[in-house]
Structure 1
Amino acid sequence: MIVELLKTQPEIALFVSLALGYLIGSVRLGPISLGGVCGTLIVALVIGQTGARLAPDLKNVAFALFIFALGFTGGPQFFANIGRGWRYGLLSIVEIVSVMALVMVAVVLMKLDAGTAAGLLAGAATESAVIGTASEAITRLGVPDADVATMQAHIVTAYSVSYLFGLITIVLFTSQIAPLILRVNLREEAARLARELGGDGVLDEGQRLALPPLVGRAFMAGPAAGSAVAAIEARFGNNLTVERVLRNGEQIDTDAQFMLAAGDTVFVAGRRESLIEAASSFGEEVPGGGFVKALAQRVDVLLTRRDLNGVTLAQMRERAAPQDGRGIYVGAITRLDATVPALPGAVVHRGDVLTLLGAPADVARGAKRLGYVIQQTQKTDFVYLGLGVVIGMLIGRFGVNVGGVSLVLGTGGGCLLSGLLFGWARTHFPVVGSLPSAAAQVLKDFGLATFIAAVGLSAGPDAIRLVREYGLALPLAGILMVLIPGLLSLWIGRMFLKLDAPMLLGAIAGQQCSTPAISALVGVTGNSTPVIGYTITYALSNILLPLMGPVVVGLAAKLG
């Protein structure tokens, strides 16, 4: 009865796959978890034995939405990192070239078909989007429909097997094996790096400082009486701001020319270390209960200024005129889905989201000069979304023939490129194209999970045959396709690029598009410095690897 129900109502099979898959994917063994996508695939492969199938149109629409949203959210960072951060970007190139070479070696030695080769690439590189671009490329090989179905089934089976072993390998390599090879204490290196970047430590995800970096304190004007506000602020590197003065029972907003007088109660805000240093210069500290209207505002601003791409936060403050930067502090930097430590030495890129803190007037002035405020809207511009997907599908129809290998982007590659361009355009023309981050995340998560469930259900008995045919060869290939690119990047990054160990290992986790690896690495280092390297390589690999799907299918079809 259940089998018949799943066959006649395949939508039930879809949501059962999603529910059970994400439940299985949430189970953690230390830092390692399969994740919802791989869990969904495993459940779908099992349910697929019942004969339940989803319509191909649903699969194609789901993947188009996922891949467009992926490009849209990654577009600003992708283009920002092409010209900047080249040392980290080079590691993404090392990953792509080496893993493609290893796949072709496996094709020749193991006699892999195009589907198994593409699945091996997707699983070992832990990049699920390759499944979609490769699946579509297989339909264009001009082979019988039965062979197309078999090879598409081989993609998901090879992916599920190699993904599991590739995931375990990259987590262990970045957090345990590589530090031993480098002969470094990763926690000490990360603490030293945080100090060099201008901080006294950066926290794990989910932790908050007991002593916050930005604070406000009140003083009775003693030694500071008779001094101009501008002179006091400049003495401490403009890392503090005299926001307000209580004089004769009246609160007064200050400016740079304001003169402090004896008997004033002074409200000062800024970086904690600067206020500690400056405390004796102001006078006796007081509770400051009279400053009932001293408000701080928190605003997220998308950085769009071209001249600030690739500079540090400290350099941003140095370049700004004192009256422009006065009272504005960066509390956080968000890049893609990761939070980069907002230390003075942290480099910002066009497309970053800067969280500005300060008085409302100061924050508004800073937002206007840096980019535009991200409005907290829940509305999606479906005109922009629909137009982007349509253009992507049209782009995907074009292809080239290189050395007898036909390379066609297909819907997946076309929508990825379209998403990149539309996301980049959004940063330049922010009045159009609203796609809130929460909505984009739903499109990515649900679109990919639905696509994966559809291809898993259609795999059927072919999955079992493939595992029996290759046995331990696929897991071994998955391990080698993580270790060899990782070792190459470790050698190049340390010997030639001279990268610090925490950021180098973060970059290796990013070139593998591995969220569990960066989570494990942050846990080992004790702070978030590895995220700085991770975001750059993740932005590049997350876009470039899916484009390799048609390439690996074309090459494998010719060589295999």
Structure 2
Amino acid sequence: MIVELLKSQPEIALFVSLALGYLIGSIRFGPISLGGVCGTLIVALVLGQTGARISPDLKNVAFALFIFALGFTGGPQFFANVGRGWRYGLLSIVEIVSVMTLIMIAVVTMKLDAGTAAGLLAGAATESAVIGTASEAIAKLGLSDAQVSTLQAHVVTAYSVSYLFGLITIVLFTSQIGPILMRVNVREEAARLFRKLGGDGVLDDGQRLALPPLEGRAFEVGPAAGTQVSAFEARFGNNITVEQVLREQRQIHTDAQFVLQTGDIVFIGGRREAVVEAAGSLGAEVSGEGFVKLFAQRTDVMLTRREANGLTLAQMRERADPEAGRGIYVGAITRLDTTVPALPGTVVHRGDVLTLIGSPADVARGAQRLGYVIQQTQKTDFVYLGLGVLVGMMIGRFGVRVGGVALELGTGGGCLLSGLFFGWLRSHFPVVGSLPSAAAQVLKDFGLATFIAAVGLSAGPDAIKLVREYGLALPLAGILMVLIPGLLSLWIGRMFLKLEAPMLLGAIAGQQCSTPAISALVGVTGNSTPVIGYTITYALSNILLPLMGPVVVGLATKFG
């Protein structure tokens, strides 16, 4: 009865796959969990034995929305990192070249078909989007429906088998094996790097600083009497701001030319270490209860200013006009939905979201100079979204032949490139194309999970046949396709690029597009410095790897 129900109403199988898949994927074994996508695939493969099938149209629409949203959210960071972050970007190239070489060696030696080869690439590189671009490419090979169905089933089966072993390997490599090979105590290195970048403390994973990096305090002016505000602030690197003065019970907004007098009650804000240093030059600390209308505002601003791209936060402050930058502080940096430590030595890129903190007037001035304020809207511009997907579908229809190998991007590759362009366009002209980050995340999560569930359900009995045919060969290949690129990147990054150990390991996690790996690494290092390297390679590999799906299918079809 259940089998008949699932066959007659396949949407039940879809949502059972999503619910159970994400439940299974959330189970943690130390730092490792399968994740919702892999969990959904496993459940869908099991339910696929009942004969339940999802309409190919729903599958194609879901993948088009996912891949466009992926390109849209990654567009600004992708273009910002193509050049500026070349040292880290080189590691993504190492990943692509080495994995593609290993895939072709496996194709020739193991006689892999196009579907198995593409699935091995997707699983070993832990990049689920490859499943979609490769499946589309298989559908355009001119084969019979039965052959296409079999090869597409091989994609998801090879992915599910190699993904687990690839995931475990990259987590262990970045958090345990890599530090041993480099002969470093990665926790001590991360603490040293944190201080080098301007940090004044180390965070353990899951903890917050009891003393916040930005703070405000009130003092009664003593030794600083007769000093001009601009000179006083410059003495401490402009890392503090005299926000307001209480003089004879009258609250006064200060400017750079304001002169402090004995008995003034001043409210200063800024970086904690600078405030502590300045305290001795001011006088006795007081409660500051007279400042009744003093507010601090937090505003998220997307950085679009070309001159700021590639600068550290400290360099931005040094190059800014003292009056223009006065009273503006960066409390957090968000890059690709990942929080990067906002330290003086942190390099920023166009497309980063800076959380500005200060008085409302100061924050508004800073936002105007740095980029545009991210409006907290829940509305999606469906004109922009629909046009972007349509353009992607048109791009996907074009194909070329290289050395006798037919290469066609398909809807997946076309929508990925279209999403990149439309996301970049949105970052430069923010008045059009609203796609809130929450909406984009839903498109990515639900679109990919729905696509994976549909493909898994259609795989059917072919999945079992493939596992029986190759046995342990696929898991072993998946492990080697993580270890070899990882070892190459470790050697190149350490010997030639001279990258700091925590950021190098983070970059290796990013070139594998592995969120569990960076989470485990941050837990081992005790702070978030590895994330700086992770975001750059993740932005590049997350775009380049899906484009390799059609390439693998074309090469495997010719040489397999």
Equivalent residue, structure 2, for 1:472: 472
CA distance in 2, matches of 1:348, 1:280: 33
Provide Cα deviations, 1:196-255, integer angstroms capped at 9, x if missing partner. Answer: 101123535643210000000100010111111001000000000000000111110000
2:13 aligned with 1:13: yes
Equivalent residue, structure 1, for 2:248: 248
SS in 2 for 1:519: helix
Equivalent residue, structure 1, for 2:386: 386
Judged with a 3 Å threshold, the aligned counterparts in structure 2 of structure 1 residues 354 and 204 are, in CA distance, closer, same or farther, namely: farther
CA distance in 2, matches of 1:429, 1:174: 38
Equivalent residue, structure 2, for 1:491: 491
Equivalent residue, structure 2, for 1:423: 423
Equivalent residue, structure 1, for 2:440: 440
Equivalent residue, structure 2, for 1:46: 46
Equivalent residue, structure 1, for 2:35: 35
Instruction: Kindly report the root-mean-square deviation, in angstroms, between the aligned alpha carbons of the 2 structures.
Output: 0.6
2:559 aligned with 1:559: yes
CA distance in 1, matches of 2:431, 2:207: 35
Equivalent residue, structure 2, for 1:72: 72
SS in 2 for 1:263: coil
CA distance in 1, matches of 2:179, 2:153: 38
Equivalent residue, structure 2, for 1:341: 341
CA distance in 1, matches of 2:205, 2:380: 29
The residue identity in structure 2 corresponding to 1:321 is: D
SS in 1 for 2:226: coil
1:263 offset after TM fit, Å?
1.1
Report if the CA contact (8 A) 1:202-1:528 is conserved.
Answer: no
CA distance in 2, matches of 1:56, 1:412: 14
Report if the CA contact (8 A) 1:243-1:254 is conserved.
Answer: yes
Equivalent residue, structure 2, for 1:200: 200
2:357 aligned with 1:357: yes
2:363 aligned with 1:366: no
Equivalent residue, structure 2, for 1:94: 94
Equivalent residue, structure 1, for 2:83: 83
SS in 2 for 1:449: helix
SS in 1 for 2:269: strand
SS in 2 for 1:426: helix
TM-score (normalised: structure 2): 1.00
Report if the CA contact (8 A) 2:205-2:526 is conserved.
Answer: no
Equivalent residue, structure 2, for 1:513: 513
CA distance in 1, matches of 2:357, 2:337: 21
CA distance in 2, matches of 1:74, 1:200: 31
Equivalent residue, structure 2, for 1:141: 141
- Summarize the alignment of residues 40-439 of structure 1 with structure 2, pairs less than 5 Å apart: 40-204=40-204, 206-439=206-439
User: Structure 1 residues 368-377 or 139-148, which shifts more?
Assistant: 139-148
CA distance in 2, matches of 1:526, 1:342: 16
CA distance in 2, matches of 1:284, 1:294: 20
SS in 2 for 1:346: coil
Query: Where do 5+ consecutive residues of structure 2 fail to align?
Result: none
CA distance in 2, matches of 1:207, 1:9: 47
SS in 2 for 1:17: helix
Report if the CA contact (8 A) 1:6-1:12 is conserved.
Answer: yes
SS in 1 for 2:15: helix
Percent of aligned positions that are identical: 85
CA distance in 2, matches of 1:354, 1:22: 32
Alignment: residue pair count: 560
1:294 offset after TM fit, Å?
1.1
CA distance in 1, matches of 2:449, 2:201: 37
1:189 offset after TM fit, Å?
0.2
CA distance in 2, matches of 1:249, 1:129: 63
TM-score (normalised: structure 1): 1.00
CA distance in 1, matches of 2:136, 2:204: 40
CA distance in 2, matches of 1:171, 1:222: 56
SS in 1 for 2:293: coil
Report if the CA contact (8 A) 1:229-1:255 is conserved.
Answer: yes
The residue identity in structure 2 corresponding to 1:244 is: Q
CA distance in 2, matches of 1:271, 1:173: 36
CA distance in 2, matches of 1:506, 1:31: 15
Provide Cα deviations, 1:101-147, integer angstroms capped at 9, x if missing partner. Answer: 00000000100000000000000000000000000000111111111
SS in 2 for 1:260: coil
Provide Cα deviations, 1:324-366, integer angstroms capped at 9, x if missing partner. Answer: 0000000011000211100000000000000000001000000
SS in 1 for 2:517: helix
1:194 offset after TM fit, Å?
0.5
SS in 2 for 1:252: strand
CA distance in 1, matches of 2:498, 2:349: 21
1:307 offset after TM fit, Å?
1.0
